[in-house]
Structure 1
Amino acid sequence: MSHVVIIAGSPSKRSRLTGLIDYSVSQLSEAGITVEVIHVADLPADDLVQARFDSTFIRDALAVVEAADAVIVATPVYKAAYSGVLKLFLDLIPQEGLRGKVSLPLVIGGSIAHLLAIDYALKPVLTTLGGRHILGGVYAVDQGIERLDGDKYILSAEITTRLNRSLEELRLTLENGGITIA
């Protein structure tokens, strides 16, 4: 059984990014894939900022990444780049920490203007961490995700279609031993 970790790089769990994450967890779980979510904002801020590799919280989170077959990196876009909270965590992943893992970027922003943040900001960092199987990713505009009472979210049909396509590509890639099937 494949194991996927989602690194949630939003400073808030009430972000519309949570809608993308929750949907991804649901779809992957239905496909028989084990999914864990690391909410980086839940890790102790001092441990992140001071890069405390000896912190139990940091060691446990990094062990989850190490054990995963695939990593979904989910982040909002701020100033044409991924979040600072995510940056702090990515800096703690060992230099080859993503080697042999499939990666899927999920990014949400206020407008389509930041679409290229996946290619010009996030993918280079994933590559630096040893990622070689980086899927295309999904960029969503936050107006396409409606937040309901009870921390539930509704994704637009267009976002759902693109996310389903990317999650299916991830599933097929995992089934085929990391070989991307188009």
Structure 2
Amino acid sequence: MSTTPSARTRTAVVVGNPKPASRTLSAATYVARELGGAEPDLVVDLATVGPGLLDFSDPAVTALAAEVAAADLVVVACPTYKATYTGLLKLFLDRFAPSYGTGLRGIAIPLMLGGGPVHALAPELTLRPVLTEIGATVPVRGHYVLDSAHDDPAAYADWLAAARPVVSTLLAARTGAPTP
């Protein structure tokens, strides 16, 4: 069940899967809907962005990064590659630098998918530290989902039950809305 923290909450999804319209995108959008209470305002499927990711002066990628930086809630999702996140996601995250005023300012949720349970700590060990370093608040543990269960709500249920009240309270405080 979704809750709506605030009509003013701006939610973004960033997906670092090299395949466009991936299972990772589906999973991230689901998590954003569940935590934000509505469809995300912005979905960045990095597989569709193209070579502009390699050019730090690319205006389209710079604009995407600015929109993500301004979001209240950002679900950052990636498949697990070599026990960590993809280079594609790293290229995008390198655009955020709090010391230059371009850090993430909202709440970030690390989400990773993988083929087996051996990498279940990857969201905490690899993705959480970089999100924190670039300015995000990461108030709940990252979530790892098996690829085979990416579309099964049960794969998210316990994690959402723990994460939703924390995220809702922080979003309400951030946006000035009453706590649900």
TM-score, normalised relative to structure 1? 0.78
What code does the residue aligned with 1:169 have? Answer: V
In structure 2, list runs of 5 or more residues that go unmatched.
Answer: 1-7
Report the secondary structure of 1:155's partner residue. Answer: coil
Does residue 86 (structure 1) correspond to residue 92 (structure 2)? The answer is no
Aligned length: 167
Segment of structure 1 superposing worse, 168-177 or 53-62: 168-177
Query: Which residue does 1:150 correspond to in 2?
Result: none
Given the superposition, is the C-alpha separation of residues 48 and 25 from structure 1 closer, same or farther in structure 2, using an over 3 Å criterion?
A: same
Query: Which residue does 1:3 correspond to in 2?
Result: 10
Does residue 62 (structure 1) correspond to residue 65 (structure 2)? The answer is yes
Matched ranges for 1:93-104 at <5 A: 93-96=96-99, 97-98=102-103, 100-104=105-109
Q: Percent same amino acid among aligned pairs?
A: 29
Matched ranges for 1:1-182 at <5 A: 1-28=8-35, 31=37, 35-45=41-51, 47-49=52-54, 52-96=55-99, 97-98=102-103, 100-145=105-150, 154-163=151-160, 165-177=162-174
In structure 1, list runs of 5 or more residues that go unmatched.
Answer: 146-153
The CA distance in 2 between the partners of 1:9 and 1:168, in whole Å, is: 27
The CA distance in 2 between the partners of 1:116 and 1:62, in whole Å, is: 27
Tell me, yes or no, if the aligned pair for 1:99 and 1:131 is still in contact at 8 Å.
yes
Report the secondary structure of 1:120's partner residue. Answer: helix
Tell me, yes or no, if the aligned pair for 2:96 and 2:104 is still in contact at 8 Å.
no
The CA distance in 2 between the partners of 1:173 and 1:80, in whole Å, is: 30
Residues 122-178 of structure 1 deviation map (CA, whole Å, 9 limit, x = unaligned): 111112112244421211011113xxxxxxxx3142334424543453233201239
Report the secondary structure of 1:5's partner residue. Answer: strand
The CA distance in 1 between the partners of 2:40 and 2:73, in whole Å, is: 10
Aligned-residue CA RMSD (Å): 2.5
Report the secondary structure of 1:89's partner residue. Answer: helix
Cα deviation for residue 121 of structure 1 reads 0.9
Query: Which residue does 2:3 correspond to in 1?
Result: none
Report the secondary structure of 2:28's partner residue. Answer: helix
TM-score, normalised relative to structure 2? 0.79
The CA distance in 1 between the partners of 2:161 and 2:29, in whole Å, is: 13
What code does the residue aligned with 1:173 have? Answer: L
What code does the residue aligned with 2:26 have? Answer: G
Going by fraction, where is strand more abundant, 1 or 2? Answer: 1
Given the superposition, is the C-alpha separation of residues 68 and 9 from structure 1 closer, same or farther in structure 2, using an over 3 Å criterion?
A: same
Given the superposition, is the C-alpha separation of residues 122 and 26 from structure 1 closer, same or farther in structure 2, using an over 3 Å criterion?
A: closer
